[in-house]
């Protein structure tokens, strides 16, 4: 396994996003050169994105470019000007439920935008393309834990369908143009500077405000919650280790990055209540369209290839998030 090479230039799309910010900060602290790319859209509070950037911009080895993945000319110019050794595509329209109301945003960002990244890697060759997929691709699969060898042909949301499409597109480009590509299926990532549309963040806001929290499927759901630091470590292990050719001659690999330990939603809420020192007012509702009952990552490949698996407990992870939340919002 090759260690992280800090002499290389890393392009990170979605650079002002949750995972993009934390990965950028970690790489910058280790001395690597990072180029961030983001359109700073208003899917959630833009101030959170600009505050993340304010932390990154003082680094001498950081460059931020504002632009949209759906604008092919901007993406091509990005690759041409900065000649990244490694491209990390974290830019995407996120959220399962939002995809029901605003499908256009997902096609523009996740399909058209990802196509432009692939074209950039084709015309300005990179040593490795790493991109974010999602545990959502597993849909309503009953077999657990979820393995990257499982069939994932029955998505239950457009968001999941776009992420599965990314995997197919990336495989085709890897085969056609010999681009080394690794896809990462992330499982419910949480932590400081996280996304306000995520359940744990909304729960915290509502509990602190004394408002009821909504628990779908009457709270009977399981999630493989993965702390942000574990996600960053997993990505950094992979960046300088492009896949070798598989049995079909394609340099392509998929990994799950999850905690390998699904938590019952009600236990997660109880842990959050303890961290906040407050009790939530709970509103129990039926399952929402696009939601899945359970996520559970099989991380055997990650352990075999990198001797690594996420291991941050929800007690530790939520404790760190609550500490950040109180400081950030002054509550």
CB 235 within 8 A of CB 183: no
Phi and psi angles of residue 165, each rounded to the nearest 5 degrees, phi first: -60, -40
Check: CB of residue 95 under 8 Å from CB of residue 197.
yes
CB 186 within 8 A of CB 134: yes
**Candidate list 10, 159, 222, 255, residue with the active-site label:** 159
User: Position of tokens 């129990």?
Assistant: 284
Q: What is the pLDDT of residue 1?
A: 87
Which three-class secondary structure state does DSSP give residue 42?
A: coil
> What integer pLDDT is reported at residue 111 of this predicted model?
98
Give the pLDDT score at 101.
Answer: 86
Structure confidence at residue 127 (pLDDT): 98
Contact predicate 272/200, CB 8 Å: yes
Q: Encoding tokens for residue 168? A: 């197919």
CB 11, CB 35: distance < 8 Å: yes
> What is the C-alpha separation between 65 and 117, in angstroms, rounded?
15
The CATH architecture one would assign to domain 9-191+226-258+295-311 is 3-Layer(aba) Sandwich (3.40)
Question: 129: which strand partners?
Answer: 87, 181
- Annotated catalytic residue 159: yes
Hunting for tokens 């015309």 — which residue is that? 123
CB 78 within 8 A of CB 67: yes
Count of C-beta atoms within a 10 Å radius of residue 248 = 8
Helix (H, G, I), strand (E, B) or coil at 83: coil
Per-residue pLDDT at 245: 95
Cα separation, 256 vs 310, whole angstroms = 11
Q: How far, in Å, CA of 310 to CA of 303, rounded? A: 10
List CB contacts of 213: < 8 A, sequence separation 6 or more: 202, 203, 206, 207, 269, 280, 281, 282, 283
Where are the domains positioned within the chain? 9-191+226-258+295-311
Q: Taking a C-beta distance cutoff of 8 angstroms, is the pair 196, 205 a contact? A: yes
Which residue, 225, 226, 227, 224, is CA-closest to 297? 224
Look at residue 212 in the predicted model and tell me its pLDDT.
97
The owner of tokens 């990314």 is 166
Buried b / exposed e along 67-82 (16+ C-beta atoms within 10 A): bbbbbeebbeebbeeb
Question: What sign does the CA torsion over 282, 316, 139, 96 have?
Answer: positive
Nearest to 182 by CA among 133, 142, 220, 124: 133
What pLDDT shows up at residue 95?
Answer: 83
Provide the residue-wise pLDDT of the chain in tens; the chain has 331 residues.
899 999 999 999 999 999 999 999 999 999 999 999 999 999 999 999 999 999 999 999 999 999 999 999 999 999 999 999 999 999 999 888 888 889 999 999 999 999 999 999 999 999 999 999 999 999 988 899 999 999 999 999 999 999 999 999 999 999 999 999 999 999 999 999 999 999 999 999 999 999 999 999 999 999 999 999 999 999 999 999 999 999 999 999 999 999 999 999 999 999 999 999 999 999 999 998 888 889 999 999 999 999 999 999 999 999 999 999 999 999 9
Q: Which two tokens stand for residue 158?
A: 């457009």
Whole-number pLDDT of residue 96: 81
């Amino acid at each position: 396994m090759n260690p992280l090479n800090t002499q290389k230039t890393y392009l990170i799309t979605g650079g002002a996003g949750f995972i993009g910010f934390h990965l950028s900060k970690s790489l910058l602290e280790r001395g690597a050169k990072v180029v961030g790319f983001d359109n700073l859209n208003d899917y959630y509070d833009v101030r959170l994105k600009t505050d993340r950037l304010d932390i990154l911009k003082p680094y001498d080895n950081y460059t931020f470019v504002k632009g949209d993945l759906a604008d092919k000319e901007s993406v091509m110019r990005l690759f041409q000007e900065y000649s990244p050794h490694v491209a990390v595509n974290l830019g995407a329209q996120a959220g399962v439920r939002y995809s029901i109301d605003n499908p256009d945003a997902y096609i523009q960002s996740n399909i058209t935008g990802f196509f432009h990244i692939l074209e950039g890697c084709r015309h300005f060759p990179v040593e490795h393309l790493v991109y974010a997929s999602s545990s959502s691709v597993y849909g309503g699969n009953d077999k657990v834990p979820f393995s990257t060898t499982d069939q994932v042909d029955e998505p239950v949301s457009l968001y999941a369908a776009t992420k599965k499409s990314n995997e197919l597109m990336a495989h085709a480009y890897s085969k056609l143009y010999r681009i080394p590509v690794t896809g990462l299926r992330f499982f419910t990532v949480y932590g400081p500077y996280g996304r306000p549309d995520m359940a744990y963040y909304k729960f915290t806001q509502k509990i602190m405000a004394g408002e009821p929290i909504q628990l779908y499927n009457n709270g009977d759901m399981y999630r493989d919650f993965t702390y942000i630091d574990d996600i960053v470590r997993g990505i950094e292990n992979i960046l300088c280790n492009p896949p070798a050719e598989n049995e079909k001659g394609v340099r392509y690999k998929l990994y799950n990055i999850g905690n390998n330990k699904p938590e019952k939603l009600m236990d997660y809420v109880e842990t959050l209540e303890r961290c906040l020192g407050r009790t939530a007012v709970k509103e129990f509702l039926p399952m929402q369209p696009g939601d899945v009952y359970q996520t559970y990552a099989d991380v055997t490949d990650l352990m075999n290839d990198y001797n690594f698996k996420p291991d941050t407990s929800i007690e530790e992870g939520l404790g760190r998030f609550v500490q950040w939340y109180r400081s950030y919002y002054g509550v």
